[in-house]
Amino acid sequence: MMQPVSMVPSCASSNSSLSSLLVLQRKRTKIVGNFDQVGKWNKEEVNLLKFLAPPLMAAVLALSPIFNPPVSVGQTIDVHKGATLFRRACIGCHDTGGNIIQPGATLFLKDLQRNGVDTEEEIYRVTYYGKGRMPGFGENCTPRGQCTFGPRLREDEIKLLAEFVKSQADQGWPTIKIEGD
């Protein structure tokens, strides 16, 4: 599949690009789990790919982690987004998974289970429509008095938050480091 460089004179530098890509890939394997870094590497890899001539592309694509991303990367990125949303909309009352207004309704598994809110669907519903003294954040949350006066959240944001809260609860609310902390 790889053709001799002489046949594609325009990519005389491709060999060095290819080897630096391999270096990138090796480095990247070490830093899986640090999503910000991974994001940067991805961009560099994409830029690199643009410089590579098509005959080498297939070989590079097969090697590139972009097309075989480790499962943990996807999950890490979602956790990052979820944590950011959580910090924006929920942390005021639920810092580190607690509940400053109603101590029996924390986001820890034992409370979620006792209150019947231990599935993503139920967490979604409570976040969307609110419950008791918790305001709803959904765009179509009603009645008004039960809904936040602040900015509403999109459905995909609430879904991500539900996934985030559920996975944090399952793990006992480990600390998540967000860049800028």
**Binding residue for ligand HEC (CB under 6 A) from 52, 53, 112, 160?**
112
Interface with ligand HEC in residues 115-134 (CB under 6 A) = 115, 117, 123, 126-127, 131-134
Instruction: Please identify which residue in 27, 92, 119, 154 interacts with ligand HEC, judged by CB under 6 A.
Output: 92
- Pairing of β 130-131 and β 134-135: antiparallel
| 19, two tokens | 């080897």
106 binds ligand HEC (CB under 6 A): yes
CA 123/CA 80 separation, integer angstroms? 19
Residue choice 94, 97, 136, 138 for contact with ligand HEC (CB under 6 A) = 94
Q: Which of 152, 177, 170 is nearest to 83 (CA)?
A: 177
Which among 6-14, 31-39, 48-56, 109-117 is the span making contact with ligand HEC, rule CB under 6 A?
A: 109-117
Contact 14, 3 (CB under 8 A): no
Q: At what angle do helices 71-89 and 155-170 cross, to 10 degrees?
A: 110
Q: Which two tokens stand for residue 5?
A: 């460089």
Closest contact distance (angstroms) between CB of 44 and ligand HEC is 35
102 contacts ligand HEC (rule: CB under 6 A): yes
Is the Cβ–Cβ distance between 1 and 41 less than 8 Å? no
| Nearer CB in complex with ligand HEC: 151/180 | 151
Q: Contact, 25 vs 17, CB < 8 A?
A: no
For the CB of residue 40, give the shortest distance to ligand HEC in the complex, in Å: 29
Q: Which of 116, 117, 125 is nearest to 166 (CA)?
A: 117
- Interface region with ligand HEC, contact rule CB under 6 A, candidates 9-17, 21-29, 62-70, 91-99: 91-99
Binding site for ligand HEC (CB under 6 A): 89-90, 92-94, 99, 101-102, 105-107, 111-112, 115, 117, 123, 126-127, 131-135, 137, 161, 165
